Amino acid sequence: MAQALPLWPTARVRRLPPVLAVVAVVALLALPAAPDGGGGIGNAHPADAVSALAVLYCALRLVRDRRRPLTRRAAVVLGLPVLGLAVAAVGAASPGAGVEGLGRYLQVFVLVPAAVLLLLRKRDDVRLLAWAMVGLAVWQGAVGVHQYVTGTGASYQGEPIRAVGTFGAQDVMGMATVVSLGLVCAVGLALGRTPVRHRLLAAGCALALLLPLALSFSRGAWIATAVTCAAQLLLSGARRALAVGAAAAAAGVVLVGGLGVGTAMLQERVGSITQVTDAPDQSVTDRYTMWAAAAGMWRERPLTGVGLKGFPEHRDSHASLALSSGSETDGAGAGYHRQPLLSPHNMYLLVLAEQGLLGLLALAGSWLALLVLGLRRLRAVRRAGTAGQDCGLVACGLLVWQLTDFAYADIGGPSTVLTAVCLGLAAWWALGSATSERVAER
């Protein structure tokens, strides 16, 4: 008598939570970036490829389950940027540039966030994804601290001490972004109403991540993280905000003052944040010069901008002589390299220059809608005292961090895929959490 073979592989795969497809995207960012700066414009990181597979996987699940993809509100909020992107793609300098730019923007701001929203089914999925981001941050932070201690990091003021993790010297913002987002997730998890041991572990991870964040020497990441963590504390309660703020300040004093971790360089870097007109360093001068160039492009074409990927082509005609020829990178396993300055390092000004007022209103309107709806839901959950406050703090915190960091950075590099994941988490909390949980219960 023939014995039927068990169909355990198919059955087990079907029982796996869909969120694992998004977790895989986060996990792949632990891999070293390509030596030539892979992951930037025109170079794909494995995480980008898997994010595309996650979108395809989500689409196949929708077809199989015969589910309505998005609610009307979600479709409007997430689809709003498409209008400005389509117009800007038509106005690009060449069809190739328009298609490439359109694909990148759709990936980061529309397709992957929508897939994350649909693949997250319940609060435990959000917690799993948040812990995955914390784990990635701990790994990258550990690599960064090792680089600082052993002098194998990226060059900073002539010394190979800048912590960049596995992203390399040509993407000095990569580790800072990952560590910051992991820290925001840890703070959100620590402030929730989960078991005490989970909150203590999250708080410990948040404190541990302060060191690699400091050693990244990234002023924009510092500012965005400080603003976000303060917002998370206030949203969790004023009394708790005072207590945790005092503890964090004490930890900072011990870390920098007592242990002397990079004291002189850190103090100089912090002080440079306010040196806008009083002898700013060249990086600050370049940044403000490119901001002025982006504003000039917008004034030239205020409604539709100069077209997707048009900033590099129009930069020289709008920038002053104060702009340097490029930024210098060295160390972290790579040789000396001079990178051209091809973006204004401000997402809002980049969108304004390339997509005009139409594109900025569409993108910023989508982000603002997510923020307002997310904060409103978080406030309702906190007042009702129901479960899920940690998920709301994580989702809203990640969105606040991105919107703050966009004032000092734009998309580019392997860590950009995390921006899409963060927007998807925010969308789940603001637009799709109730619907997703009802589907998961069936």
What residues does 160 pair with on adjacent strands?
155
Residue 128: pLDDT band (50, 70, 90) is: very high
- Residue 154 host element (H or E): strand 154-156
Selection from 210, 198, 314, 328 nearest residue 261 by Cα: 210
Region 184-202 average pLDDT: 92
Selection from 233, 140, 132 nearest residue 179 by Cα: 140
The pLDDT of residue 243 is 73
- Alpha-carbon Rg for the chain in angstroms: 22
Cα(417)–Cα(413) distance, integer angstroms: 8
> Is it the case that residue 4 has pLDDT exceeding 60?
no
42: its two tokens: 């025109």
Q: Please name the amino acid found at residue 287.
A: R
CB 290 within 8 A of CB 344: yes
What residues does 334 pair with on adjacent strands?
331
Average pLDDT, the chain: 84
Output the CA torsion 414→415→420→423 (10° steps).
-170
Cα(10)–Cα(172) distance, integer angstroms: 42
CB 272 within 8 A of CB 280: yes
Residue found under tokens 């959490």: 433
Q: Give me the count of residues in the chain.
A: 442
The pLDDT of residue 395 is 96
The pLDDT of residue 386 is 78
User: What is the pTM assigned to this prediction?
Assistant: 0.89
pLDDT tens for each residue of 90-126: 988 888 888 999 999 999 999 999 999 999 989 999 9
- Least confident window among 14-28, 327-341, 368-382, 408-422: 327-341
Count the neighbouring beta carbons within 10 Å of the beta carbon of residue 190. 23
Count the neighbouring beta carbons within 10 Å of the beta carbon of residue 173. 21
pLDDT tens for each residue of 130-154: 999 999 999 999 999 999 999 888 8
CB 170 within 8 A of CB 329: yes
pLDDT tens for each residue of 428-439: 999 975 545 544
